[in-house]
Amino acid sequence: MADPRAALAVLVNAFERHLEACSQRRGEDDPSVLAAYDDLADAFEAYDDALLDAFGEMTPFDVVSEPDEDDDAGLEDDGDADGRYLGLDDEEFDEDDLDESDDEGDDEADEDDLDDDADDDDPDDDRSPR
């Protein structure tokens, strides 16, 4: 069983090395930044595993690796040329689903709100401040 405190120290060092490599980056594919990135991902996974083994807990983070070109075959792309997510396409979005979820259970709540508003205007209401 790995010690979570030791794994955390390795993770903090990996963050520091990554920051240093990024601050001295020499081009878009700088090998020192890429190596620091990989080391950081490995250190994070080791820490997360040590935390799970020792305490049954996990961090709320996941390491995301870039998929291979072959892995994307046949998958629909929801991003632009930069790979940013742009949301659902028009044919993927169904307004009827939205309307159904908004309407469910709201009728009774709307009627209750109207009843409450009518009670506020009642001059014989003894609950009004004096």
pLDDT digits (tens, 9 = 90+) for 52-101: 999 999 999 988 876 655 555 545 555 556 666 666 666 665 666 666 55
Tokens of 39: 């080391």
CB atoms within 10 A of CB 81: 6
* 19 has a pLDDT exceeding 90: yes
SS3 call for 46: helix
- Considering the chain, what is the average pLDDT of its residues? 75
Q: How far is CA 47 from CA 7, 78, 119, 124, in A?
A: 5, 32, 59, 67
Q: Residue 130: pLDDT band by 50, 70, 90 thresholds?
A: very low
The angle subtended at Cα 47 by Cα 5 and Cα 34, nearest 5°, is 125
Note the pLDDT of residue 87: 66
* 36 has a pLDDT exceeding 70: yes
